[in-house]
Amino acid sequence: MKKYSTLATLLALFSSTLAAQTLPVEPKADSGDTAWMLIATALVLFMSIPGLALFYGGLVRRKNVLNVFMQVFILVAVISIEWVVVGYSNAFSSNSIEWLKPYIGGFDWAFLNNINLSDLSPYFISHSQLAADGSNIGTIPHILFIMFQGMFAVITPALIIGAFAERISFKGFLVFSLLWSLFIYNPVAHWVWSGDGWLYKLGALDFAGGTVVHINAGIAAIVTAIMLGKRRDYKGHALPPHNITYVVIGAAMLWVGWFGFNGGSGLAADGLAGNALMVTHIAAAAAALTWAVLDWVIDKRPTIVGISTGAVGGLVAITPAAGFVGVGGALLIGIIVSLVCFVMVAYVKPKLGYDDSLDAFGVHGVGGIIGAVLTGILASPFIQSSYSGAIYGNFHQLWIQLLATGATILYSGIGTFLIFKITDKLVSVRAIDKHEAVGLDETQHGETAYTNFD
């Protein structure tokens, strides 16, 4: 009797184990991935405030530093609200109108409707590896993915500030930035990062924002700089920065924050994130060193503004490639982008005479283009086995990268032109001469950054 009882127990245990194996496993968030993405999201916000605010704020004259701080700060507020109201849905949801699906999302997730706290992120952006079962369900909460992507939506229009600094009215800036985010940033993000996007389906590689963020913002920067015209006292060369200490602190904060920007874009705490951190750092280091050497050789002394600018250029260029290249690729990208951006800033801009105040186009636009194209050349199957570039015989990937770059340039350029014209009709975009002469801190905000005590 005891023998039969033991056999029955074993059979019951076997049956329950078999049943457990056949029951579907409910997907749930991975605590390690979620913890990393919480940190990465905070790091990307850190890039805007205080990083970018200090970097740009230090480069302008003292009468305009608070205006730059305010521009960055208010974008964090306004674009964050725009993002949860409609931006995220337009960028990442699927459109119910079939012919619009490749170009813009719908409104299913407007106000974050239909999104629950238990939902997992629906996308592995940037052609990162899918889940083991081939699905596109991630391992972090959907709400966290929305927040992470929201920080990208915030910093992109903030980058454009560098082109029109010291001469744009605050009201015009605010209207322009909101319209640009709605009609330029959100569609381009959908093209490249949404599962429905036409560039995503073509296989365009943009790990963390070479096209969506840097080319997009950089082209908008040159368009607005030209349409606004030069600063009233611009003489064809850079105006001296008022606080180089701010510039260095801001650049250092951007460097640190970029680990979240690139490292978080695989949406997991894994080897791909580790590689993204490594190549981000190496590209920035190579670009910073290259710029310092160029300063030293050409102008006979290395400058802290130069090495800071070089570092930012390296960070920009590695952004689309961070999930697809190794250390060798990162070194090449850092050196090449620094050489090209140095020429753009030191020679091309003065020669052509446009007033890109803080070199938003010369560093972000040009650096983004270089990074996107070099991704198509240097992408390595040793980083992600599914992807390779021209150096490994896959010239088709280079063609796709060129197509994505060209499409972004055209759309951002034409769209920015139209939005600028519309904004200028609604509210005057250019600050009046008197306000520009006195300084935008006092005339736009009634404040001054520094007080002299006699």
Question: Bigger pLDDT: 128 or 441?
Answer: 441
Segment 371-420, tens digit of pLDDT: 999 999 999 999 999 999 999 999 999 999 999 999 999 999 999 999 99
Residue 141: asked if its preceding bond is cis (omega within 30°), the reply is no
Taking residues 176-202, report their average pLDDT. Answer: 96
Note whether 221 and 230 are within 8 A (CB): no
Collect all residues with Cβ–Cβ distance below 8 Å to 329 and sequence separation of at least 6.
Answer: 279, 321, 374, 378, 379, 380
The mean predicted confidence, pLDDT, of the chain is 91
Burial of 98 (0-12, 13-18, 19+ CB in 10 A): exposed
Q: What is the spatial distance between Cα 300 and Cα 116, in angstroms, rounded to a whole number? A: 59
The closest of 77, 80, 73, 87 to 182, measured between CA atoms, is 87
Collect all residues with Cβ–Cβ distance below 8 Å to 153 and sequence separation of at least 6.
Answer: 79, 82, 83, 87, 88, 91, 181, 185, 186, 189
HSE value, Cβ hemisphere, 13 Å, CA-based, for 13: 6
Please identify, in words, the CATH class of the domain defined by 31-440. mainly alpha
Collect all residues with Cβ–Cβ distance below 8 Å to 148 and sequence separation of at least 6.
Answer: 37, 40, 41, 44, 264, 267
Q: What's residue 453's pLDDT?
A: 55
Q: What's residue 314's pLDDT?
A: 98
pLDDT band at 12 (very low <50, low <70, confident <90, very high): low
Distances (CA, A) of 453 to 66, 132, 448, 450: 19, 66, 13, 10
Residue 404 tokens, joined? 């994505």
Q: What's residue 413's pLDDT?
A: 98
Residue 233 tokens, joined? 């006292």
Segment 245-273, tens digit of pLDDT: 999 999 999 999 999 999 999 999 999 99
Residue 88 tokens, joined? 């995220």
Extents of the domains making up the chain: 31-440
Residue 199 tokens, joined? 């560039």
Q: What's residue 424's pLDDT?
A: 96
- Ranked by mean pLDDT, the top range of 243-252, 433-442, 443-452 is 243-252
Note whether 438 and 432 are within 8 A (CB): no
Collect all residues with Cβ–Cβ distance below 8 Å to 300 and sequence separation of at least 6.
Answer: none
Q: What's residue 443's pLDDT?
A: 95
The closest of 123, 113, 139, 286 to 190, measured between CA atoms, is 123
Taking residues 83-91, report their average pLDDT. Answer: 97
Lowest mean pLDDT among 23-32, 145-154, 172-181, 422-431: 23-32
Q: Is the pLDDT of residue 133 over 50?
A: no
Segment 420-438, tens digit of pLDDT: 999 999 999 999 999 999 9
Distances (CA, A) of 131 to 55, 121, 209, 329: 39, 12, 22, 27
Q: Is the pLDDT of residue 103 over 70?
A: yes
